[in-house]
Amino acid sequence: MNDNNVNRRVLFVIGALLLLLLAAPFASAQRVLLDKIIAIVDDDVVLKSELDERIDEITAAAQRNGQPLPDDLEQFESDIMEALIVENIQMQLANRVSIRYDDDTINRVLGNMASNNNLTFDQYVDALEENGVYLQTREQVRKQMTMQELQRGMVNRRIKITEQEIDNFLNSEMGRELMAADYFVDDLLIPFSAADTPEIKAEKQRLAADLISRIDDDFPLAAARAAARQNTAIEIGGAELGWRKAKQLPSLFADIVVEMEIGQVEGPIEAGNGLHIIQLVDMQGGTEQFVNQTRVRHIMLSPNEIRNEEQTEAEARKIHQRILDGEDFATIARQNSDDASSVVGGGDLDWVNEGGMPPEMEQVVDALEIDGVSEPFRSQVGWHVARVEGRRLQDLSREFTRNQAANALRNRKFELELENWLIEIREDAFVELID
């Protein structure tokens, strides 16, 4: 049998359990069996109960979804056994590199699963407990998250993306398609009829102009369309076009939409079927990336063994007053700041992108004028005094585009590299099957 086919079957089985959890979380409780070891895997074992539970889970899910089981049940069991072995190897590796998820993280995931099933967290837990699978589900979620984190760390480091690959991708049809912006367009149509007289057409033109004048942030095109359908005898058509690339839009709109700002309205656009009014509701993606940046310098004082919270705040206020009295900010930062990453540069954080600071710091900095010095403020790590040294709108389009392309290429390579990595760790492991 082809090794690649076997490996792909095993990879399928490895990922099946998480999908089963998400799609059908209320599996019935498993039968209790007299347990035994059926495989030794490096420093751990696979138990007969694990194999039987996994077979039961996959079988029950297939029945619920109306999917047939493989005809070769012996091979099916063998593939599941192999998947358990590979999972076991991964969990041992994850333990060695200390990948662990605490209960709060698991609860957040279960909360998302509950929401996907239109349940509250408590309702979801109750349902799992009633079916006798609550603890089992928590452990399966923890295992899947652990393995995914391990895979991301181990596989991504194997993937190398060259500048030439990025260039080739951006110049390819696939790359251009992927990097193109997506537009959410709403369309209102005042249709023409063969029976329209010049007077009726003029009335429709006036209606279009009136609707356009009324559309604003509080009265979007969708609201205007609904109101017009109720308040005018003229037939009103059109609908949201949803998310589309520019080339997927009607040719009548495409060149107009790419030049529009979010919220902007254009029209009336006359076509053979009537008068169109369009609004760009939203846009995402694309290669243009302009970012507001702030040049920030700060001094950070953290409470420690010899300086408590109150003393730290008092010291920050003294430093703040020294700066107001004319002492050099950078010099004071070098002498006093506890921020090891910026102390040598006199507290200089360089140009920081909008959203790149902790929220409590960004709120203070945003309120400062250039050369303005903040009052001492508290963050999660200590007390700060900050100064704004400049602001600018920076074009990061090229960097953004190339990063997006690199991520797309990495995602394309990930599955193949994952498969190769799983094969390698399986081959390197000591595995002994026990009848």
- Residues 4-14: tens digit of each pLDDT: 554 454 444 44
**Where a domain ends, among 229, 264, 284?**
284
Residue 173 counted as domain residue: no
Q: Do residue 199 and residue 98 come from a single domain?
A: no
pLDDT in tens, 136-156: 899 999 999 999 999 999 999
Q: DSSP labels for 216-263?
A: BTTB-HHHHHHHHHHH-SS--B--EEEEEEGGGS-HHHHHHHTTPPTT
Q: What is the pLDDT of residue 24?
A: 45
Burial profile 180-192: b = 16 or more Cβ within 10 angstroms, e = fewer: beebbbbbbbbbb
Residue 174 counted as domain residue: no
pLDDT of 18 higher than 50: no
Arithmetic mean of pLDDT, 367-393: 95
Q: What is the pLDDT of residue 284?
A: 85
Q: What is the pLDDT of residue 60?
A: 86
Q: What is the pTM of this model?
A: 0.57
Q: Do residue 272 and residue 294 come from a single domain?
A: no
pLDDT of 346 higher than 80: yes
Domain count, the chain: 3
Q: Do residue 12 and residue 136 come from a single domain?
A: yes
CATH of the domain at 211: 3.10.50.40
Please, are residues 99 and 151 in contact by the beta-carbon 8 Å criterion? no
Arithmetic mean of pLDDT, 239-264: 92
CA distance 300 to 381: 8
Q: Do residue 226 and residue 194 come from a single domain?
A: yes
Q: How many CA atoms are closer than 13 Å to the CA of 170, on its beta-carbon side?
A: 18
pLDDT of 97 higher than 80: yes
pLDDT of 186 higher than 80: yes
CB under 8 Å to 372, separation ≥6 — which residues? Answer: 387, 388
Q: What is the pLDDT of residue 429?
A: 96
Q: Do residue 299 and residue 244 come from a single domain?
A: no
pLDDT of 401 higher than 60: yes
**Region label for 371, one of left (φ > 0), alpha (ψ between -120 and 50) or beta (otherwise):** left
CA distance 127 to 121: 10
Residue 426 counted as domain residue: no
Please, are residues 183 and 243 in contact by the beta-carbon 8 Å criterion? yes
Tokens 């010291």: give the residue: 315
Q: Do residue 58 and residue 139 come from a single domain?
A: yes
Arithmetic mean of pLDDT, 328-347: 95
Q: Do residue 216 and residue 315 come from a single domain?
A: no
Q: Do residue 191 and residue 144 come from a single domain?
A: no
Residue type, 71: D
What tokens does 130 get?
Answer: 């009633």
Please, are residues 260 and 282 in contact by the beta-carbon 8 Å criterion? no
Q: Do residue 262 and residue 302 come from a single domain?
A: no
**Where a domain ends, among 108, 123, 158?**
158
**Where a domain ends, among 120, 143, 158?**
158
Q: Of residues 27 and 193, which shows the higher confidence score?
A: 193
Arithmetic mean of pLDDT, 66-94: 93
Residue 342 counted as domain residue: yes
CB under 8 Å to 242, separation ≥6 — which residues? Answer: 184
CATH of the domain at 106: 1.10.4030.10
Q: Do residue 124 and residue 219 come from a single domain?
A: no
Q: What is the pLDDT of residue 28?
A: 45
Residue 21 counted as domain residue: yes
pLDDT of 416 higher than 70: yes
Report the share of the chain in percent with pLDDT over 70: 92
Q: What is the pLDDT of residue 34?
A: 62
* Domain, as residue range, for 352: 290-395
Arithmetic mean of pLDDT, 96-102: 92
Distances (CA, A) of 345 to 24, 62, 349: 55, 62, 8
pLDDT of 343 higher than 90: yes
Dihedral (Cα; 413, 415, 419, 425), 10-degree rounding = 80
Strand partners, 431: 41
Determine which of 26-40, 79-93, 295-309 has the lowest per-residue pLDDT on average.
Answer: 26-40
Residue 414 counted as domain residue: no
Q: How many CA atoms are closer than 13 Å to the CA of 182, on its beta-carbon side?
A: 8
How many C-beta neighbours within 10 Å does residue 306 have? 6
pLDDT in tens, 273-293: 999 999 999 988 777 778 899
CA distance 345 to 334: 7
Arithmetic mean of pLDDT, 78-100: 95
Q: What is the pLDDT of residue 209?
A: 94
Residue 425 counted as domain residue: no
pLDDT of 25 higher than 60: no
**Region label for 378, one of left (φ > 0), alpha (ψ between -120 and 50) or beta (otherwise):** beta
How many C-beta neighbours within 10 Å does residue 56 have? 15
Q: Do residue 8 and residue 45 come from a single domain?
A: yes
Q: What angle do CA 74, 75, 77 make, to 5 degrees?
A: 65
Q: What is the pLDDT of residue 17?
A: 45
Arithmetic mean of pLDDT, 314-343: 96
Q: Do residue 274 and residue 359 come from a single domain?
A: no
Residue 300 counted as domain residue: yes
